[in-house]
Chain A
Amino acid sequence: MGEPGFRPDGTWVGADVPRREDPRLLAGRGRFVDDITLPRMLHAAFVRSTEAHARVTAVDLSEVREVPGVVAAFDAADLGLADITALLDRPAEEFTPTSMPVLARDKVRYVGEPLAVVVATDPYAAEDGVEAAVVEYDPLDPVVTEAAALAAAGTPVHDEAPGNVLVDVSLFATEGIDEVFAAASASAGDVVVTVEANTGRQNALPLETRGVVADWDDRDEQLLVRTCTQVPHQVRTVLARCAGLDEKQVRVTVPDMGGGFGQKCVVGREEIAAAAAARRLRRPVKWIEDRREALTASFLAREQHYTARAAFSADGRILALDTDVVCDMGAYSCYPFTAGIEPLMASAEMPGVYRVPAYRVRGRAVTTNKAPTAPYRGVSRPQYVMVMERLMERAARELGLDAVEVRRRNVITEFPYRGINNVTYDPGSYLESLDLCEQVLRDEGWLSRSGRDRDGRMIGIGFSCFSERTGYGSGAFAQRKMQVVPGFDISQITMDLDGTVTVTTGTLSHGQSHETTFAQIVADRLGIGYDKVKIVQGDTDRITYGWGSFASRSVTIGGSAAAAASVKLGDQLRSIAAHLAGVDIDSTRLDGRGGVRAGDHTYPFAELADVAYLRAHLLPKDVGPGLTATASFDVGGDGTFSNATHGCVVALDPGTGGVEILRYVCVEDCGVAIHPRVVEGQARGGIAQGIAGALFEQVTYDELGQPLAPSFMEYKVPTAAEIPDVRIEHLETPCAFTADGAKGAGEGGTIGAPAAVLNAVNDALRHTGVELDATPIPRAAIFAALSLEEAS
């Protein structure tokens, strides 16, 4: 990369500079886990359960070990690893702890659950070995649906939870809420509207599946684990505990990653089993999840069932909100978040951008015989936003008001706002984004285009207005009573002899461009080119304990830590320059061109580094040798809220029930965008995933718990042909307490899209009287609704 020089106003933040990652990625020179090949490396494959729910009476691997190419095969007893347990600090009536074994023993709880690991000289032989395993089952009645889980009729999924409920929390219940609903029902003008909504089970589906290459290093007495995780330190912690190693005996490194979306922010079982096998065999072991495993046996998300009602005054103001949400978390609680991740998020955040004066919520997590779940981009917010936005639309319909106007009357407009959910919202542009989104669609002529188009298709327009808490600090997670509180981040910055700097971050880019955006943040603090900043991430031996990247935390928390460390380093440089110039430190400043101005002198950083490292006798007494600074950052209070309004125009084909998205507009506000094109990329990708959930993707099972979508023929990931071009407009309400005023931008697209699409489809169905509240939206239901109308 050439010398980018200095920007005229001296700032990198806000500029669409070339991405530091691009030269290698675009030229195919990135290095992903599967690109790593080590001498004597072996390949792992897993014997997986073919039953959804069964007692395991025997695992016989003797034939496996005879298969040509197979080097070893281990079951749970062979590896003797401790279980993975994730806990909440909640009483027994609210939370039932369960454990996930690394390899199943005694009992299996979903089809695809790993029972044994086979290690062979190539992946083909490893799969041959898997086929030679003999597992004997004593089948139990599978618990396949949330309804079956709650009915608790047969053998429970976990003995510890006889009713199949792992989490049952009622976080809020405003006193007198029943009276509010009763009064609204009795009043002539007020209305009470209800929504029963189901959202389908989804796979976050990173393009790069999960994977690991592990080997034991005798010289370092260390297990080296190269894996594509969003949370390297948590993998280290769990692996060390499972294998009975010291943390210092495990080093987790992360190469380039092809996405994670939350599926990789929990600790999986296969990487631990593969690493344990590598340690046992003293040979490198690689496991790359194949697409069938990814679709059937990886971490899933999103399957929720809402029963919600809201009371509205005659003039469209929300009076009360009452919700019951049941989240189908599958077979196990994930580490570190637990099965509480979805119900707690929904319960804590559902009122969203609206002034809700009375709120009651019950959130439950049930366990079923399906693959377990992990957080997925947005975590519950795509679903509860969808439910809130349906309530808004339904109230508008019943009250005979415009649905955008109803939102306008309810959105929070004065900040900071203390919500009914005990959350303080920092300033945002809820009303402004709503107005602008509507204006854009009006200017483009869409608002006048309802009814049928020339092909006889029904046109509908839908909106969604929402905010997204980003930068959850330790306090915010502690409020959820997580026992592991992933709040802070630590950065260390070191300047070398030539004045270039290396900065560590505990956050971890799995596609978000941290090498670019963090360099911009640091470069601004020190007044150097962003190409002079090297970002180190994803290596537990080189980085102080960090929490990785999820929940839109990287720039807000990690970026702020990097900024704080940079400021400290700048202060050190100024101290040295002041001493050399014989002036007070207050008479020095960074000159914005890679040096310190001290009195009449300018000291280039390289000159100060020369003193710091090579001529330490010249240093002031209170400054030690070397140039290193460390800083941490945590978000106090309730974090910072990004917000957006999405607008969607659809055309429904009465002859087929087919849906085409004609237009999609996103007006987003993530505070100050460090790199606007990166933000737009996040929005576009997120919207595509939201549309996927609204219209296409669903993980389905038959009544015995057998997966029905093991390939991309059945699991319908939308392609470029299904995803519309998206118009993105930016608003900017800076955050007052993060570096540069940035807010998180990672999840908003995914959050807003299902609601906007579903509302648009319902708008197009308005004349039929049919309302749909399930995703993915069944084309058969659209067809049936429009056929009724044609017939009448």
Chain B
Amino acid sequence: MSELELAPATDETFHEKPDNQWLEMWRSLVANRAALVSLAFIGLLALIAVFGPYLVPYNPVETDMAHALKSPSAQHWFGTDQLGMDIFSRVIVGARVSLTVGILAVMIAMTVGVILGSIAGYVGGRVDTVIMRLMDIMLAIPSILLAITLMAALGKGIDKAVIAIGLVSIPEYARIVRSNTLSIKENDYVAAARIVGNSNARIIARHVLPNALSVIIVRTTLGMSSAILDLAALGFLGMGVQPPQAEWGDMLGRARGFIFQAPYTLFFPGMAITLTVLAFNLLGDGLRDAFDPKSRVK
């Protein structure tokens, strides 16, 4: 039995030294100006999402028909919409909705996708074929179309939007994790772990996934941006939040008739979506570069 107890310790030597790796990565990220600014913006957005609703100047869901469609001014920084609701307050409150939905949807997609992808990649054979063909079928349908169809079946509502957006992005995670698993499982340390009698589940959890972590992180970051965009698209089509709740895509959808008359009603929610999506994309790109030693910014 003594060999078995020794095994995990020997196994560690096959990994890179973690401290060094993360530090180097961080340096590379900091050196990437765009990614750093994006990270700061996302941090700010997170703060807004947490504390914003307590600080807004107006009740974001209170109508004031006497002051409808007012241009941006000192009273209403971003102007007011068709029902006299303060656009600044609504954009701030919308940050919480978008980030929450983004995080939850990404968690659903990541959890399911990682499990399916690692099983498909590690087990292979018929299991792999079944799982991956299913993923291919999902990928064959444009994700936003699939999300709309799901919403039509599930009904309207932000909780359903989370489920719909989460489900449609599963295949992306599954494919990435599968392909990484395929290469990782050929490594000697996996073979060694198998020889010393580790269960498949343990090998996947302890040896395969930690080595695929970097790609998963990059994918989740980019996944956030597409989840936020999908939510905005669903909101734009009137399938997101229940009125009068504030959501960026929904605000954009309601304001689209005013593109000539009151463009600020579109501009600010549109800008919020654009900047947020851009920030997650740039951060994702930065992380990918940072994780990849070959393209690391020196």
The answer to whether A and B assemble together is no
